[in-house]
């Protein structure tokens, strides 16, 4: 079969600006290896010339890209997988015209339901919060148009909130599929850094001897209740109360716009680590830049989003990670839910032990193979998922198992 994958490209954003673009390209790389796929191409909804790709989207170099504007689009593909940007209904009807065996799949990587829920709740409070001096920003949430997909595939961390809502809204089957990750973009970034400074220390094992005190970073986006700094403030305070000499800074990234948030300032004012000058609100950094220049460990919390590229990237580079993501609880150091005392104690333990744990990076790289194209069982399952679109097979009633990143 011939597969097309839509991709939303935004000027000024790197490949690390959001997980969806990485997910799209990693999915392309996987699909290209499937024996039942004759060809795969990226579908750009906007017409661009080659120079624009080279200038603004260098990360798509080597990928086969065409524009939807081609009037013979219905002859190009058998399956279109929608990532991030959904073509208008008339375009999808054009694709399916005259052939009922064409399939359109939605691949969902973001928590659409929660974003919409927050937009409904917070939109009613914008005026009130602004008058009180809060810096609350209400972000636009995607409206789920009632596009008729043949099936919806989700990264497994989105099933809890979205499965039934997707199925009711679109009147089609929604399923979790194996999570796909690759170190290729990390390695490419490391190469770029090394080309400028060959002696630059990037991996933890290269930097460990230079670490006296720990700079702990939070990489949460701070855009939603799903992933933000709030619980981590208390977890770090507890860690600081156990061993204040262990820490140099608590660096909260993606938080520059929060620096004038009066409520946040009041909240942290009585925290001991804040009074002693350890809190720093920072901009957004890519993970390689952050962990080679500004921090040496990661402290994370999520609520309903228990699998994330940032976790995998962190341990791939060898850095200590403390998190509560139950769909990858065998990487880094895992604490449960909102147990922030446990989280703080675990942070202290993880940092005290990391330098002596000489197998940490290789052990984690071995675990991470379950998400990569080196996992032949995962390739086989995606082969079955595509075949299942046309003729039902054993994959149809399966469910996700995090330990092996597979469907059973």
Looking at the fold, whether 48 and 81 belong to one and the same domain comes out as: yes
Task: Give SS3 for 266.
Answer: helix
Are residues 391 and 145 in contact, defined by beta-carbon separation less than 8 angstroms?
Answer: no
Looking at the fold, whether 93 and 194 belong to one and the same domain comes out as: no
> Please, how many CA atoms are within 13 Å of residue 205, restricted to the half-sphere of its CB?
10
- Would you list the DSSP string of 23-35? HHHHHHHHHTT-T
Q: Which residues contact 184 (CB under 8 A, 6 or more apart)?
A: 26, 29
Looking at the fold, whether 124 and 272 belong to one and the same domain comes out as: no
- Give the model's pLDDT for residue 356: 97
Task: Provide the domain limits for residue 156.
Answer: 2-181+372-407
**Nearest C-alpha neighbor of 297 from the set 309, 279, 315:** 315
Cα–Cα dist 318/32, whole Å: 30
Q: pLDDT, tens digit, for every residue of 143-202?
A: 556 788 999 999 999 999 999 999 999 999 999 999 999 999 999 999 999 999 999 999
> What is the pLDDT averaged over residues 340-355?
98
Tokens of 165: 């809502």
Q: pLDDT, tens digit, for every residue of 197-236?
A: 999 999 999 999 999 999 999 999 999 999 999 999 999 9
Cα–Cα dist 408/399, whole Å: 6
Q: pLDDT, tens digit, for every residue of 28-69?
A: 999 999 999 999 999 987 778 778 887 878 888 889 998 877
Cα–Cα dist 75/55, whole Å: 31
Looking at the fold, whether 65 and 175 belong to one and the same domain comes out as: yes
CA dihedral sign of residues 229, 111, 309, 155: positive
Q: Which residues contact 91 (CB under 8 A, 6 or more apart)?
A: 68, 73
Q: pLDDT, tens digit, for every residue of 78-134?
A: 999 998 788 888 888 888 887 779 999 999 998 989 988 888 888 765 444 443 333
* Percentage of the chain exceeding pLDDT 90: 74
- Give the sheet arrangement for strand 39-44, strand by strand: 65-67, 39-44, 2-7, 79-83, 103-108, 151-154, 174-176
Looking at the fold, whether 196 and 328 belong to one and the same domain comes out as: yes
Cα distances from 91 to residues 49, 74, 86, in angstroms, run 22, 10, 10
Environment class of 388 (CB within 10 Å of its CB; exposed 0-12, middle 13-18, buried 19+):
middle
Number of domains within the chain: 2
Q: pLDDT, tens digit, for every residue of 279-308?
A: 999 999 999 999 999 999 999 999 999 999
Looking at the fold, whether 315 and 228 belong to one and the same domain comes out as: yes
Looking at the fold, whether 283 and 139 belong to one and the same domain comes out as: no
Cα distances from 278 to residues 215, 216, 252, in angstroms, run 9, 10, 11
Cα–Cα dist 393/222, whole Å: 42
Looking at the fold, whether 321 and 403 belong to one and the same domain comes out as: no
* CATH number reported for the structural domain that contains residue 346 in this entry: 3.40.50.2000
Looking at the fold, whether 103 and 240 belong to one and the same domain comes out as: no
Looking at the fold, whether 228 and 198 belong to one and the same domain comes out as: yes
* CATH number reported for the structural domain that contains residue 17 in this entry: 3.40.50
**Nearest C-alpha neighbor of 293 from the set 190, 180, 393, 396:** 190
Q: Which residues contact 33 (CB under 8 A, 6 or more apart)?
A: 373, 379
Looking at the fold, whether 269 and 132 belong to one and the same domain comes out as: no
Are residues 217 and 295 in contact, defined by beta-carbon separation less than 8 angstroms?
Answer: yes
Cα–Cα dist 215/248, whole Å: 5
CB-based contacts of 321-326 (< 8 A; 24+ apart in sequence): 321/297, 321/350, 322/297, 322/298, 322/346, 322/347, 322/350, 323/298, 323/299, 324/300, 325/157, 325/300, 326/402
Find the helix packing angle between 19-31 and 184-196, rounded to 10°. 110
Looking at the fold, whether 92 and 169 belong to one and the same domain comes out as: yes
- Give the model's pLDDT for residue 56: 77
**Nearest C-alpha neighbor of 338 from the set 207, 234, 244, 248:** 234
Taking phi over 0 as left and psi of -120 to 50 as alpha, with beta for the rest, 76 belongs to alpha
Q: pLDDT, tens digit, for every residue of 392-407?
A: 999 999 999 999 999 9
Neighbours of 74 (CB within 10 A): 16
């Amino acid at each position: 079969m011939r597969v097309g994958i839509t991709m939303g490209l935004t000027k000024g954003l790197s490949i690390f600006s959001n997980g969806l673009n990485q997910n799209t390209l990693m999915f392309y790389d996987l699909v290209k290896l499937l024996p039942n796929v004759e060809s795969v191409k990226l579908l750009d909804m906007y017409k661009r010339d080659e120079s624009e790709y080279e200038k603004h989207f260098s990360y798509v170099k080597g990928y086969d890209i065409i524009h939807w504007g081609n009037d013979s689009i219905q002859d190009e593909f058998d399956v279109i997988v929608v990532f991030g940007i959904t073509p208008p209904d008339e375009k999808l009807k054009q694709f399916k015209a005259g052939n009922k065996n064409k399939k359109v799949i939605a691949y969902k990587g973001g928590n659409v339901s929660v974003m919409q829920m927050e937009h409904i709740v917070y939109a009613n409070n914008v005026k009130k919060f602004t008058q009180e001096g809060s810096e609350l920003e209400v972000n636009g949430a995607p409206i789920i148009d009632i596009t008729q997909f043949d099936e919806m595939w989700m990264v497994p961390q989105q099933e809890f909130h979205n499965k039934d809502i997707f199925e009711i809204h679109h009147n089609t089957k929604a399923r979790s599929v194996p999570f796909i990750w690759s170190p290729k973009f990390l390695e490419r970034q490391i190469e770029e850094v090394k080309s400028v400074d060959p002696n630059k220390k990037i991996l933890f094992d290269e930097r460990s001897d230079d670490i006296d005190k720990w700079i702990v970073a939070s990489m949460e986006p701070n855009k939603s209740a799903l992933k933000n700094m709030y619980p981590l403030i208390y977890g770090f305070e507890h860690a600081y109360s156990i061993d204040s000499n262990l820490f140099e800074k608590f660096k909260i990234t993606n938080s520059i716009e929060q620096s004038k948030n009066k409520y946040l300032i009041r909240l942290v004012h009585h925290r001991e680590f804040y009074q002693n000058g350890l809190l720093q609100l920072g901009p957004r950094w890519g993970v390689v830049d952050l962990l080679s220049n500004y921090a040496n460990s990661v402290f994370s919390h999520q609520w309903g989003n228990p699998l994330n590229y940032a976790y995998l990237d962190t341990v791939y580079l060898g850095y200590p990670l403390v998190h509560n993501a139950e769909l990858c609880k065998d990487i880094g150091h895992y604490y449960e839910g909102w147990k922030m005392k446990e989280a703080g104690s675990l942070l202290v333990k993880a940092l005290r032990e990391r330098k002596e744990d000489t197998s940490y990076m290789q052990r984690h790289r071995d675990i991470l193979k379950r998400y990569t194209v080196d996992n032949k069982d995962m390739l086989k399952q995606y082969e079955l998922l595509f075949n299942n679109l046309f003729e039902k097979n054993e994959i149809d009633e399966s469910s996700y198992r995090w330990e092996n990143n597979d469907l059973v």
